[in-house]
Amino acid sequence: MPAAETSNQAVAAILRGIGEYLAMQDVPFKPRAYEKAALAIDGLEEEVAAAYRKGGVKALEAIPGVGASIAEKIGEFVTTGRIKYYEELKRKTPVDLSELSRIEGLGPKSVKKLYQKLGVRTIDELERAAKSGKIAGIEGFGEKSEEKILKSIGFAKQSATGGAGGGQRFILGYAMPQIRDIQERLAAVPGAQRVTIAGSARRRRDTIGDADLLAVSKQPDAIMEAFVSTPGVVSVIAHGATKSSIKLRSGLNVDLRVVAPESYGAALNYFTGSKDHNVALRRIAVAKGWKLNEYGLFKAGTGATGGEQRIAGRTEEEIYRAFGMDYIEPELRENTGEIEAARRHALPKLVGYSDLQGDLQVQTDWTDGAESIESMARQAAARGLSYIAITDHTKRLAMTHGLDEKRIVKQWAEIDRVQKKLRGKITILKGTECDILKDGSLDLPDEILAKLDVTGVSVHSHFTLPRTEQTARVLRAIGNPHVDILFHPTGRIINRREAIDLDMEAIIAEARRTKTVLEINAFPERSDLRDEYVRQCTAAGVKLSIDSDAHHSRHYDHLEYGIAQARRGWAEKKDIINTRSADAMLRCLK
């Protein structure tokens, strides 16, 4: 995301950095204050940058643990992209603390000591010092800690490129544009006949371990050469005639394989996976006396002549056909029943990537969104949507300037005004993203909810309630007869926050009973509901919506990833309410 520089994570990181430099200089108390503020901001739902732009320092001081002086520094960061105080601290002790403090067992104090005694400022200098045995000689370190430091350096270097921290997987929606850029570049190389995305990215898993590309080319050398010189490559892991691997600055590894045209389908099938799907297919081949690999599907040679006979391999379709199966969409290839269904010709007809007519969760500058109602509506129309619901936050989210009863009524007048202007272009529905309070009651009174077209509700606080309490809370909320949609039902944020502890079976059963729609939130780090819950919903006949949760018009582009998760959950067009016209969609609500 282009705005990532002022994300809560970026703000928290710089505050944490200040705390670390202060700790290094033995300043009392202050380090803890910065650390606490960083922690609070990390866990916030609302974007502090947006809160500051709207409400100034006052809005920031409303955050527990953020006092006047820290609030001011956050403000400076949001407006200028830097904090002078931080830069002064860094100048005083010019060590790369953010890098060095990633080394296990190295706190600010030991970093300071290593700087004073050995002049260590960077990881490379640390490595040199450790390898030459100088660290073991320093009081308080010893040989054991030197060894430990060396080990930890190896790990820190591996995960130093950001994007996803140590051992973490990459979020599909943010990796995909990078992968598509490479795909496009390669497709333009002379001789390239096909360049396709394979692996988990083609299956549209919400996260990917690495990216896999497959190409058919008349000039394999040229495409490999272009691949290893992709802009943004930090290292070339392998450079061969048929397989190369690179690492991008974001930390993402990308594999490219070049295959022969007659094997393209077989290779695509093999490298799309999943591994479990592949294994199951291969087993079926073996049972028939066939052989399936990345080169093709083969029948053992018959009679005296011997030799294998190719049954299929040029396309995936012909391979599935040879097995007597319907074509299996990549999103389904997880060996969770798709093979049996393909044999019985009983696969779902998945919701398509251009099936959405509307978006039911859109934020505006009335709260923490970046654009006006009119701008969000125009941009939605430009993207081919025929309706959106304006669903700004409610008052409990004070930092986002959440709407109370009075302001939401004012907002309706503005929606009416914009609607008049854009009549015929797009329908703007009145909605809310109403906070579910701790006890399951709602942040707006029923009289208001009754007047809305679309009432969405969501959990933005008390994420750690125990399962029974959390489940009861959400059940109570969706039991409200005005509540239409449960937004981002599990609250997870990939690589950052666990899902809240919910008895999903109970939630799905109650959604079914009360005709509450569950959302597939398309925001890449949310992807919430996730695939397995989507599948449980479709199986139970619970209706779903796919929403962008846009806080900026460019976020409409995320809808694609929500559709992907819906498909991974076997959802059909009829399961998704916003594949319908506005009128038909509204009839699906309570």
On whether the CB atoms of residues 25 and 44 are closer than 8 A, the answer is: no
| Site size toward Zn ion, by CB under 5 A | 2
Q: Is 212 in the site for ligand DGT (CB under 6 A)?
A: yes
The minimum distance between CB 180 and Ca ion, in angstroms, equals 15
Q: Which residues contact 572 (CB under 8 A, 6 or more apart)?
A: 348, 349, 350, 351, 538
Structure letter (DSSP) for residue 145: H
Indicate which single residue of 110, 145, 178, 200 sits in contact with ligand DGT (rule: CB under 6 A): 200
Q: Is 209 in the site for ligand DGT (CB under 6 A)?
A: yes
Tokens (6 digits) for 282: 């291969």
Partner from Ca ion, ligand DGT, Zn ion, none binding residue 93, C-beta < 5-8 Å depending on class: none
On whether the CB atoms of residues 55 and 19 are closer than 8 A, the answer is: no
Going by DSSP bridges, is the β-strand pair 387-390/427-435 parallel, antiparallel, or unpaired? parallel
Strand partners, 550: 362
CA distance 370 to 1: 14
Q: Which stretch binds Ca ion (CB under 5 A): 119-127, 207-215, 472-480, 565-573?
A: 207-215
Residues 341-380 that bind Zn ion (CB under 5 A): 363, 368
The minimum distance between CB 33 and ligand DGT, in angstroms, equals 40
Partner from ligand DGT, Ca ion, Zn ion, none binding residue 443, C-beta < 5-8 Å depending on class: none
Q: Which stretch binds Ca ion (CB under 5 A): 255-263, 329-337, 350-358, 484-492?
A: 255-263
Strand partners, 435: 458
Best CA proximity match to 471, nearest among 432, 508, 496, 497: 508
Partner from Ca ion, ligand DGT, Zn ion, none binding residue 273, C-beta < 5-8 Å depending on class: ligand DGT
Best CA proximity match to 333, nearest among 186, 202, 212: 202
List the alpha helices (DSSP H) in 25-107. 30-42, 48-61, 68-80, 84-92, 97-100
On whether the CB atoms of residues 124 and 150 are closer than 8 A, the answer is: no
| Site size toward ligand DGT, by CB under 6 A | 14
Q: Is 510 in the site for Ca ion (CB under 5 A)?
A: no
**Angle, helix 504-514 to helix 467-479, in steps of 10 degrees:** 10
Q: Is 178 in the site for Zn ion (CB under 5 A)?
A: no
Nearer to Zn ion, 95 or 370 (CB): 370
Q: Is 575 in the site for ligand DGT (CB under 6 A)?
A: no
Partner from Ca ion, ligand DGT, Zn ion, none binding residue 480, C-beta < 5-8 Å depending on class: none
Partner from ligand DGT, Ca ion, Zn ion, none binding residue 368, C-beta < 5-8 Å depending on class: Zn ion
Per DSSP, the three-state class of 90 is helix
Measure the CA dihedral 483/487/491/493, to 10°: -170
Tokens (6 digits) for 482: 């005005």
Partner from Zn ion, ligand DGT, Ca ion, none binding residue 432, C-beta < 5-8 Å depending on class: none
Nearer to Zn ion, 329 or 433 (CB): 433
Nearer to ligand DGT, 250 or 274 (CB): 274
| Site size toward Ca ion, by CB under 5 A | 5
Site track for ligand DGT across 156-195, x = CB under 6 A? ----------------------------------------
Indicate which single residue of 275, 283, 423, 496 sits in contact with ligand DGT (rule: CB under 6 A): 275
Q: Is 316 in the site for ligand DGT (CB under 6 A)?
A: no
Written as one letter, the residue type at 353 is Y
Indicate which single residue of 17, 173, 273, 491 sits in contact with ligand DGT (rule: CB under 6 A): 273
Q: Which residue is nearest to ligand DGT (CB)?
A: 273
Helix (H) or strand (E) holding 455: strand 454-458
Dihedral sign of CA atoms 110, 113, 115, 117 in order = negative
The minimum distance between CB 261 and ligand DGT, in angstroms, equals 20
Written as one letter, the residue type at 124 is D
Residues 256-275 that bind Ca ion (CB under 5 A): none
Residues 160-199 that bind Ca ion (CB under 5 A): 199
On whether the CB atoms of residues 51 and 399 are closer than 8 A, the answer is: yes
Nearer to Zn ion, 392 or 453 (CB): 392
Q: Is 199 in the site for ligand DGT (CB under 6 A)?
A: yes
Strand ranges inside 202-319, DSSP E: 207-208, 211-217, 233-239, 243-248, 253-258, 290-293, 296-299, 309-312
The contact set with Ca ion (CB under 5 A) reads: 199-200, 210, 212, 255
The contact set with Zn ion (CB under 5 A) reads: 363, 368
The contact set with ligand DGT (CB under 6 A) reads: 199-200, 205, 208-210, 212, 270-271, 273-275, 278-279
